[in-house]
Chains A and B, each alone.
Chain A
Amino acid sequence: MAKNMKTENPAPADKRSVLLRGNAKEFYEWCRKRELRFQRCQDCGVWRHPPRPMCGSCHSMRREWAPTLGKGKVYCWTVVHQALDPAFANEVPYAAAIVELDEGPRLATWITGLPPDRLTVGMPVEVWFDDLDDQVALPKFRPLIE
Chain B
Amino acid sequence: MPALADLRDKTCIVGIGETAYTRGTNKSALELSLEASLAAIEDAGIKPEAIDTVILPGGAGGGGTAGDFIANLGLQDLHYTTSLQEMGGAMCVAALECAATALASGIASYALIPLCCRFYSGRKARQLNSDPGTGLQSAETIRDYYAPFGVGAPPQHYAWMAQRYMQLYGTTHEQLGAIAIAMRKHAQLHPNAVMRGKPMDLADYLASRWVSYPYRLLDCCLETDGAGALLVTTTERARDLRRKPVYVTGIASGHPFPPHDLPNRPDILKMGLDFCAPRAFAMAGMKPSDMDFAEIYDCFTGQAMLQIEAAGFCKRGEGGAFVEGGRIELGGELPINTHGGLLSQAHNSGMNHLVEAVVQLRGEAGARQVNEAELGLVTGWGGHGHGSVAVLRR
A residues touching B (Cβ–Cβ < 8 Å)?
10-11, 15-16, 18-19, 22-24, 48-50, 52, 56, 75-85, 87-88, 91, 93-94, 96-98, 105-110, 116, 120-121, 138
Main secondary structure of the interface of A (DSSP, over half): mixed
Q: Are A107 and B263 in contact (CB under 8 A)?
A: yes
Q: Which residues of A contact B151 (CB under 8 A)?
A: 78, 80, 96, 108
Produce 1/0 per residue, B136-162, CB < 8 A to A. Answer: 000011011111111111011101110
* Sample of 27 A–B contacts (CB below 8 Å): A15-B148, A50-B140, A50-B144, A50-B145, A56-B257, A75-B164, A76-B164, A78-B159, A78-B214, A80-B211, A81-B211, A81-B212, A82-B211, A84-B126, A84-B155, A85-B126, A85-B150, A94-B150, A96-B156, A107-B263, A108-B151, A108-B157, A110-B149, A116-B213, A121-B163, A121-B167, A121-B168
CB-CB < 8 A to B167: which residues of A?
76, 120-121
Shortest Cβ distance from B168 into A: residue: A121
B268 touching A98, Cβ below 8 Å: yes
> How far, in angstroms, from A81 to B208 measured CA to CA in the complex?
12
> Which residues of A sit under 8 angstroms from B155, Cβ to Cβ?
84
Which residues of the partner chain B approach A97 to less than 8 Å between Cβ atoms?
Answer: 160
- A78 in contact with B260 given A83-B150, A88-B150 (CB within 8 Å): no
Q: How far is the CA of A91 from the CA of B153 in the complex (A)?
A: 15
Is A85 touching B160 in the complex (CB atoms < 8 A)? no
Task: Check B164 against A121 for contact (C-beta < 8 Å).
Answer: yes
Q: B residues within 8 A CB of A94? A: 150
Question: Whole-angstrom distance between the alpha carbons of A120 and B143 in the complex?
Answer: 26
- Report B253-270 CB contacts with A as 1/0, cut-off 8 Å: 000011011111000100
Q: Cβ of A24: which chain B residues have Cβ within 8 Å of it?
A: 144-145
In the bound complex, how far is the Cα of B258 from the Cα of A48, in angstroms? 10
Taking CB atoms, residues of chain B closer than 8 Å to A19 are 144, 148
Q: Is B27 an interface residue (CB 8 A)?
A: no
Closest residue of A by beta carbon distance from B164 = A76
Asked if B160 and A76 make an inter-chain contact with CB atoms under 8 angstroms apart, the answer reads: yes
Residue pair A105, B211 in contact (C-beta under 8 Å) = no
Taking CB atoms, residues of chain B closer than 8 Å to A22 are 140, 144
A24-B145, A50-B261 given as contacts; is B268 within 8 A of A76 (CB)?
A: yes
Docked complex Cα distance between A132 and B344 (Å): 40
A78: chain B residues at CB < 8 Å are: 151, 156-157, 159-160, 163, 212-215
B144 A85 Cβ-Cβ under 8 A: no
Instruction: Tell whether B210 is near chain A: CB-to-CB under 8 Å.
Output: yes
